[in-house]
Structure 1
Amino acid sequence: MSIVPSVPDRSRADHLAALRAELAHARAARGAVLPFGLGIVDDRLADHGLDGGGLHEVAAASATLNDDAAATLFAAGIAARFAAQPNFSVFWALTRFDLYAPGLEQVGLCPDKVFYAQAQKDSAVLAMAEDALRDGSLACVIAEVRHADQTATRRLQLAASDGQTPILLYRRHRTRERCPLGGLSSAMTRWRIGSVPSARLPHAGVGRARWSVELVRQRNGNPFSIELDACDDKGRLALPAAAADRAAPAAGAVNQAA
């Protein structure tokens, strides 16, 4: 009896090689670090931006709806800028679907850029986020949870590093005025976002929202707090006009992200 050696399926191997090359190109196009485009922020960040293969946490400054909306839009604006390249999408996992699509679109995150996934428990949301990160083909992952211990955040950080995909872990539904960022975490950065009064307009109308942006913790860097104008329709934050006028002569800083 003669045994005929198997012939490898070249077409399948070529297809897999092409997929790997496409994925590598996508990761390179996304970039390793996403700067805010504001010197007053980027210069204070250890990586001069957000690590594109890391975990970043976001929480509202208080339990009010205004602060919750500000934190949500802050995360959405970052995701929109990560997804600015063509053919990139955002994966958003959550347990309670209460997002307002027109609001997300106002900060640059259009409906055709987002895949939503809803689960009943935080553990399922974290599992979906981890799988999405390891896939490596997404622009960004957002996961909304009430609780995530240090083990869970460590798993997310490892998955983000493996897939070279950023994740924004939004710790929502805070109660009793206890900040969700008080516990241990493996996150690269931890942000607390709140609403503050906008500047008065010289005429009747609604001006651009303004946020208190506080970096509670970062690896290899110091915390800081600053007031910024809310995201525009491309997810870009900006210095309030008066602050920008003061900063420009001193450092030649750009007022808004490119």
Structure 2
Amino acid sequence: MASLGTSALLDGLREQVARIEGQGEGHNRPVIPFGIPALDGGLPRGGMARGALHEVAGAGANVEHASAATLLVAGILARGGGPVLWASERFDLFAPGLAGAGLQGSRVVHVEAGSSVLLAMEEGLRHPGLAGVVGEYSGRLGLTASRRLQLAAESSGAMAFLVRRGPRLNDLLLSEPTAAVTRWKVACLPSPPPLAHSPGTPGLGRALWQLDLMRCRGGVPGSWTVEACDAQGRLALPAVLADRPAAATPGRVHRRAAPGRAAA
């Protein structure tokens, strides 16, 4: 009997590990593709998985980077459809900004949760009527809390996003191990001229972002330069990169050279 009990315990542990690693029931969840082959080619099944936890952060504490991270999440959820619960520590969510990325205010329930953002997220993820749950969080995450969110997302099928905030956000905060399926960093880049063929024309073109996929379970990390979300939540390749093989071939990325180094 003891042997049977041990075997059952091991089977249960294996099932839990499989769920956390994305190899259990949640492995076949549908995805939301970006529509850019080079970007989707680095992701398992060609897109952002539903029923999973995703981690997104700005490249620094500056407002423009934090806003880019928020708009990236809004654009993905805009294309996914359904109601969204958005929990933040303060009541500072700018609804017109989300609408500019395709996520209309009529779809969003905003909760000012203070220090209980993770709890609000977990409760929302266990609600069967939500398509997405977002939490803006400035504290440490850790494996235990992130595993609870991942398992709750798998259970309901909702897409979960944890938007990392912090006064001194850096790579050390994002190097902590978590159960998130993907981990993204978003940085704003200088906008190009409005007309690529006429650099002297006054004005600014569509905003540019650098997307860094820092971790992806079952995928390929990489870095891409993209145009920011439009009013339908869609990204695009800049015109100067759209015809380059590195940007058009799945699984390949356009990498930036580190300061002081020559590009490989």
TM-score range normalised by the length of the shorter chain: 0.7 to 0.9
Distance 1:153 1:234 in 2: 30
Query: For 1:170-197, what per-residue CA distance to the aligned partner results, in whole angstroms no more than 9, with x for missing partners?
Result: 0112416455311010000000001011
Aligned letter for 1:232? D
1:93 to 75, 87, 97: 87
Assess if the C-alpha contact under 8 Å between 1:59 and 1:180 holds in 2: no
The unaligned stretches of length 5 or more in structure 1 are 1-30, 253-258
Q: In structure 2, do the counterparts of structure 1 residues 174 and 150 end up closer, same or farther at CA, with 3 Å as the change threshold? A: farther
Residue equivalent to 2:32:
34
Counterpart CA distance in 2 for 1:223 and 1:245 is: 22
When residues 165 and 251 of structure 1 are mapped into structure 2, their CA distance, relative to the original with a 3 A threshold, is: same
Aligned mates of 2:169, 2:137 — CA distance in 1: 17
Distance of aligned partners of 1:249 and 1:213 in 2 relative to their CA distance in 1, 3 Å threshold: closer
What CA distance in whole angstroms lies between the structure 1 residues aligned with 2:146 and 2:169? Answer: 23
Q: Is the 8 A contact 1:101 1:111 kept in 2?
A: yes
2:244 aligned counterpart, secondary structure: helix
Q: Which residue in 2 is equivalent to 1:230? A: 228
1:10 is matched with none
Picking from 125, 131, 137, the partner of 2:129 is: 137
- In structure 2, the residue matched to 1:151 is 144
TM-score scaled by length of structure 1: 0.79
Give the conservation status (yes or no) of the 8 Å contact 2:60–2:169.
no
8 Å CA contact 2:185–2:211 kept in 1: the answer is: yes
Q: Across the two proteins, how many residue pairs are aligned to each other?
A: 216
SS in 2 for 1:47: helix
Aligned to 1:191: 184
Q: What SS does the aligned partner of 2:210 have? A: strand
**Cα distance, 1:251 vs structure 2:** 5.6
Alignment TM-score, normalising by the size of structure 2: 0.77
Tell me, in whole angstroms, the C-alpha distance in 2 between the residues paired with 1:179 and 1:168.
Answer: 20
Q: How does 1:154-165 map to 2 (within 5 A)?
A: 154-165=147-158
Change (3 A) 1:248 1:119: closer
Between the two proteins, what is the percent identity of the paired residues?
43
Rate the CA distance shift 1:186–1:174 in 2: closer, same or farther, 3 A. Answer: farther
Q: Shift in Å at residue 248 of structure 1?
A: 10
Deviation, structure 1 residue 214: 0.4
Q: Which runs of 5+ in 2 are unaligned?
A: 1-28, 251-264
Distance of 1:249 and 1:126 partners within structure 2: 36
One of 63, 70, 88 as aligned partner of 1:65: 63
Q: What is residue 26 of structure 1 aligned with on the other side?
A: none
